[in-house]
Amino acid sequence: MALLKNGYLSQDELQKLPGVPTPERLAKGPVVVIECAQEIPCNPCETACAKGAIHIGENIIELPVLEEEKCSGCALCVAACPGQAIFVVDATYSETEGTVTLPYEYLPLPQKGDLVDGLNRAGEAVCTARVLRVVNPEKYDHTAVITIAVPKALIMEVRSLRRKQSEV
Amino acid sequence: MRETEFAIVGAGPAGLSAAIEAARAGVQVTLIDENEKPGGQLFKQIHKFFGSKEHYAGVRGIDIGYQLLDEVEKCGAEVMLNSVVWGIFENLDLGIIQNGKRNLHLQPKKVLLATGAVENALAFPGWTLAGVMGAGAIQTLVNVHRVLPGKRILMVGSGNVGLIVSYQLLQAGAEVVALVEAAPRIGGYAVHASKVARRGVPILVSTTVKEALGKETVEQAVLVSLDENWKPIPGSERTLDVDVICLACGLSPLAELAWMAGVDFTYIPQFGGWMPLHNENMETTRSGLYIAGDLAGIEEASTAIEEGRLAGVAAAESLGYLSPAAAEEQKTVIRKRLNQLREGPFGEARKEIKEQLAFGGGKWRY
Amino acid sequence: METYRILQHPILGEIQQGKPVEIEVDGKTISAFEGEPIAAALLAAGIRVFRYTTKRHEARGVFCAIGRCTDCMMIVDGIPNVRTCITPVKAGMKIQTQVGLGKPQEMQP
């Protein structure tokens, strides 16, 4: 399993997870991608979801199952996940771009409008991304939730961001 | 000689939780810790915890620490800080040195040892150079004292401690040059590994540190790949420029006082090695002497909290403050939460062993 | 001098340690926060070698940071073998790199 060798999921491993939406659902607009692949005792994502779209059940080690039609892509679960394994993607943002919403606990926080490097699961810069939104309310307890615009083909690749090297 | 009903050694998550449960039931509690502040290692746990609502899931360890301290204050337990317990004797009486000077002889009716754990070291040429440090040490320096031990870090070990401390080093502005793991797979939770991987930290399995180089402080680390028999592969060495080598090679129960008390021990690799035998009430083979938390087998802060509660309830019952029925009701709830935390591939072996221990030690008794 | 202080932190916010004070390390003045472990103040100032061993004169620094391993022992206000990782800073403290074991005359405070 690539996950246990490199620390990140391959696309194959990802597609097998019950928390990952179908291509049909992805095409309809914002939806969560739950990249949780191990049975660990944890269920804050289920508790956080106001729509009841994430199911774990009585036995809290079960993998989260996404009921994709109920998910509105509201991102309440993104900051709630202690593993930072939940993202929201929107394939319908524009003709050419999609968005990725991700948890972020680093300084300095980027600002709306900033151009940043979009990083894939291996931490490689794969595109220039544009920061659309930074939310960091008290309720999220210092886990900022950031939405960036990326080339549409990369919405299932980009999972972090880094300020452009020239600005550092 | 002073007297108390229930003495608790160690004010970490297990000790604090035991104090809260016992004092709430009406027990006179004395909570003793060698440090200046209570909380044990909770205050350096700045990440959000796993579990469910009942286990404080989604709350950062540091905030769980503040909640527990608040509850301890309200419940009326006496907290004795800067106090080292140096001995436990015939009648469970304790020898204590307070503030490095005054000796106190304390006679409790019941004792809970919640002394925690000690980090395992890893010896390799150069491991005594300044800059080779324990992961717990680094976590304390970074998250409590707000000091980076260096700027370019090599992390050794991919258990949850190695993964979490790597993440926290990144958050504090250091560079984690690589994370090496001698085993062929990552040991801790994959979600923790993914957090550091997506920041560009290379995680190298079947790899270890062969040597640390430097005159007085660490300047470089030599890595080497391991084959399927964990033997170094000649010619696979490569050198990294680093100023810190952080060792996250597991923990062992801190058991000196338990040894001194003469309780029966057992060796369980899944729990970090030598630890006292204990039953389903966290009582050792010596009547009235309880253990909880990492001393009762290395686990998580969340399990330490539940084990502490269990010991606190059991002590209150044996002191006559809770009826057997009332105690049983509380213990059932706590055991259910403990079992939840020990479900799944990471926990089930621990759950099984704890059950065997509860029924007289099972195959672990010798 | 390069600082190793973490002034801003995404979870913990702005640094809020004790009162800023000065201490002396091998004759040089460094800044520190009152009440923090001596070892933290030294690392923050980039000082990493705390003592030299008796027989082989090898350098040692902080290892465990919880008062267990004794790698970080130094001479503090004339008293040798002080575990700097668990000894709080006080204003005006005089710290010396320790070579070997403490000498008897140094034992007199």
Residue A168 pLDDT level (bands cut at 50, 70, 90): very low
Mean pLDDT over all residues of chain C? 92
Mean pLDDT over all residues of chain A? 96
Cβ–Cβ gap B136/C65 under 8 Å: yes
CB B322 within 8 A of CB B333: no
Task: Locate all alpha helices (DSSP H) within A2-153, ordered by sequence.
Answer: 2-6, 11-15, 23-26, 44-48, 76-80
Gap from B278 CA to chain A (nearest CA, Å)? 24
Q: State the pLDDT at residue A167.
A: 52
Report in angstroms the alpha-carbon separations of B192 from B8, B47, B188, B283, C34: 33, 10, 7, 34, 35
Q: What contacts B151, CB < 8 A, 6 or more positions away?
A: B174, B175, B243, C4
B2-118+251-364 CATH fold: FAD/NAD(P)-binding domain (3.50.50)
Cβ–Cβ gap C43/B146 under 8 Å: no
Q: For residue range A15-54, what is the model confidence (pLDDT) as tens digits?
A: 999 999 999 999 999 999 999 999 999 999 999 999 999 9
Strand, coil or helix: A134:
strand
- Backbone phi and psi for residue B222, each to the nearest 5 degrees, phi listed first: -100, 120
Q: Please tell me the pTM assigned to this model.
A: 0.96
Please tell me which residue of chain A has the smallest CA distance to B192.
A83
pLDDT greater at residue B346 or residue B100 = B346
Cβ–Cβ gap C36/B145 under 8 Å: yes
Q: State the pLDDT at residue B360.
A: 83
Q: For residue range B299-326, what is the model confidence (pLDDT) as tens digits?
A: 999 999 999 999 999 999 999 999 999 9
B121-247 — its CATH code?
3.50.50.60
Q: State the pLDDT at residue C102.
A: 78
Measured between alpha carbons, how far is C65 from C42 in angstroms, rounded to an integer?
A: 13
Strand, coil or helix: A167:
helix
- Residue B22: name the closest of B90, B109, B93 by CA: B109
Cβ–Cβ gap B146/C59 under 8 Å: no
For chain C, what are the domain ranges? 19-99
CB A160 within 8 A of CB A127: no
Mean pLDDT over all residues of chain B? 96
Q: Mean per-residue pLDDT for C77-81?
A: 94
Q: What contacts B46, CB < 8 A, 6 or more positions away?
A: B60, B61, B62, B143, B168, C11, C12
For chain A, what are the domain ranges? 2-167
Residue C3 pLDDT level (bands cut at 50, 70, 90): confident
Measured between alpha carbons, how far is C24 from C91 in angstroms, rounded to an integer?
A: 9
C6 vs A: CB within 8 A: no
ipTM over 0.90: yes
Residue C109 pLDDT level (bands cut at 50, 70, 90): very low
C8 vs A: CB within 8 A: yes
Cβ–Cβ gap A106/C8 under 8 Å: no
Please tell us whether the domain made up of C19-99 is placed in CATH 3.10.20.440. Answer: yes
Q: For residue range C9-41, what is the model confidence (pLDDT) as tens digits?
A: 999 999 998 899 999 999 999 999 999 999 999
For chain B, what are the domain ranges? 2-118+251-364, 121-247
Q: What contacts A56, CB < 8 A, 6 or more positions away?
A: A43, A45, A46, A62, A63, A64, A65
